[in-house]
């Protein structure tokens, strides 16, 4: 009986070792597949093109190079938020300072924005400057009345 227990134990250990070796062999195959995938270049994405207008849902196209790549071109859905400053590109968002003082020579005021966030591989300037008209410049008027206020009252 004792010999049968030893034989069962040896068989179980051998089965365990064979299972571990088979698992290691599978990992080696997977690493080889990863190496083959590295022949493909990184995806290069175009800018997001809205379906309608200049913001909202749209698409972008991605391309990559490589000899053994199964897919070299693909299209992806994207979105350009409508509240972003489109003057600086719909894919770039900036933190702006307060408006500066009005330049009386040009009639405009400026403020500077620093890049806060860019969408998916967008090329954005690090800082931008926005200008706008000063608006109405208030001129102080001297209030001169022809006659004192109490003289116009009826009694």
pLDDT in tens, 99-153: 888 988 888 999 998 988 877 667 788 888 888 888 765 555 555 555 556 665 6
Distance CA 90, CA 118 (A): 9
Q: What is the pLDDT of residue 37?
A: 47
Q: What angle do CA 77, 78, 80 make, to 5 degrees?
A: 155
Pick from 47, 46, 48: nearest CA to 58:
48
Pick from 153, 42, 46, 130: nearest CA to 91:
46
Give the distance, in angstroms, between the CA of residue 148 and the centroid of all CA atoms in the same chain: 66
Torsion sign across C-alpha atoms 76, 82, 88, 92: negative
Average pLDDT, the chain: 75
Q: What is the pLDDT of residue 26?
A: 58
Please name the residues in contact with 150: beta carbons below 8 A apart, sequence gap of 6 or more. Answer: none
Whole-number percent of the chain with pLDDT over 70: 64
Report the predicted TM-score, pTM, of the whole model to 2 decimal places.
0.36
């Amino acid at each position: 009986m004792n010999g049968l227990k030893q034989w069962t134990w040896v068989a179980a250990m051998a089965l365990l070792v064979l299972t571990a070796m088979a698992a290691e062999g599978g990992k080696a195959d997977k690493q080889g597949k990863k190496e083959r995938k590295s022949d493909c270049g990184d995806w290069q994405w175009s800018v997001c093109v809205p379906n309608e207008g200049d913001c909202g849902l749209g698409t972008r196209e991605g391309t990559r190079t490589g000899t053994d790549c199964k897919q070299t071109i693909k299209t992806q859905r994207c979105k350009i938020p409508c509240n972003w400053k489109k003057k600086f590109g719909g894919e770039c968002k900036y933190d702006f300072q307060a408006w500066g003082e009005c330049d009386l020579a040009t009639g405009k005021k400026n403020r500077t924005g620093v890049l806060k966030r860019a969408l998916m591989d967008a090329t954005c300037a690090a800082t931008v400057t926005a200008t706008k008209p000063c608006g109405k410049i208030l001129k102080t008027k001297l209030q001169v009345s022809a006659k004192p206020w109490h003289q116009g009252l009826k009694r």
